[in-house]
């Protein structure tokens, strides 16, 4: 495979997987923007790749080290506070193919979130909500409503475990089946389990007492896995990238032994059966 040394990734960004066709996955740290956006700020205005970005092409223009310019296409996005897997591509036609898969909800995406509460009334299930977009001073902020109008935002969820030491925190696995802006952040809050560190949709006192007071200032939402399969040039292409649970998640959940996380493994697939003993009530 071609070397990717010519791509000026920002500090903390690392390559997770690379396909010979030019498809690659990277891990974006929290606080780094997927691309420059005048309406979004991040710490130090850090951007995934240091280079000119074309909103029309959805691509970074990067010098290839040989006097030329190459395009690095951004295939999906994450909010600046969210960490985890992002897909990129070096070939325009393949980039278009995969972006269509995202638009048609044919790319599997899984997230981990640390939320308020030590359990859910139903430890696994599906959330379906209609999201609306605010106007005026809070333009861009979403909210979930009961109205039947509009397409639903659909997310599969599963309770993984509660935090050690009796803290009112739980680890959830989330699999969005639609791609609404801020979908996971809005739905977790709407269903009574706001994400730790969410300054827009979360619980301010909750964040202050269980986050900032313990030195955790990030949004506890992480894109842990992305997977897709498609036909290309007569061959079946399967591409998968996994980003382990961040160390901050392990620490806030109490999964620490001698200063090292006890486990940073990815969670079980959502199809895994959940034992009846996990039916913890709030």
Instruction: Give the other-Cβ count within 10 Å of 206's Cβ.
Output: 19
Dihedral, CA atoms, 185, 187, 192, 197, nearest 10 degrees? 0
Rounded Cα–Cα distance for residues 170 and 158 (Å): 11
The question of whether 129 is a catalytic residue gets the answer: no
Rounded Cα–Cα distance for residues 108 and 43 (Å): 29
Rounded Cα–Cα distance for residues 193 and 254 (Å): 19
Half-sphere exposure of 211 (CA within 13 A, CB side): 21
Closest CA to 16 of 189, 202, 241: 241
**Residue among 79, 129, 198, 255 flagged as catalytic:** 79
Q: Active-site residue numbers? A: 79
């Amino acid at each position: 495979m071609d070397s990717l040394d010519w791509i000026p990734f920002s500090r903390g960004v690392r390559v997770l997987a690379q396909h010979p066709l030019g498809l690659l996955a990277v891990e974006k740290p929290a606080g780094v923007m997927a691309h420059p956006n005048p309406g979004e700020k991040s710490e130090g205005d850090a951007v995934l790749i240091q280079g000119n970005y074309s909103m029309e092409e959805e691509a970074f223009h990067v010098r290839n080290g040989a006097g030329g310019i190459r395009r690095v296409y951004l295939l999906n996005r994450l909010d600046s506070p969210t960490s985890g897997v992002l897909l990129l591509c070096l070939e325009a036609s393949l980039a278009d193919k995969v972006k269509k898969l995202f638009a048609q909800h044919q790319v599997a995406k899984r997230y981990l979130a640390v939320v308020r509460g030590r359990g859910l009334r139903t430890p696994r299930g599906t959330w379906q909500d209609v999201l609306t977009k605010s106007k005026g001073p809070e333009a861009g902020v979403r909210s979930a409503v009961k109205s039947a109008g509009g397409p639903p935002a659909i997310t599969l969820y599963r309770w993984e475990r509660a935090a050690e030491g009796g803290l009112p925190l739980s680890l959830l696995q989330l699999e969005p089946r639609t791609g609404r802006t801020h979908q996971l952040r809005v739905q977790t809050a709407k269903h009574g389990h706001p994400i730790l560190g969410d300054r827009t949709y979360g619980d301010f006192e909750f964040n202050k007492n269980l986050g900032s007071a313990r030195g955790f200032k990030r949004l506890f939402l992480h894109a842990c896995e992305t997977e897709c399969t498609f036909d290309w040039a007569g061959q079946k292409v399967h591409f998968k990238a996994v980003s382990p649970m961040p160390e901050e998640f392990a620490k806030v959940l109490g999964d620490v032994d001698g200063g090292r996380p006890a486990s940073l493994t990815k969670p079980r697939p959502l199809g895994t059966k959940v034992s009846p003993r996990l039916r913890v009530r709030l």
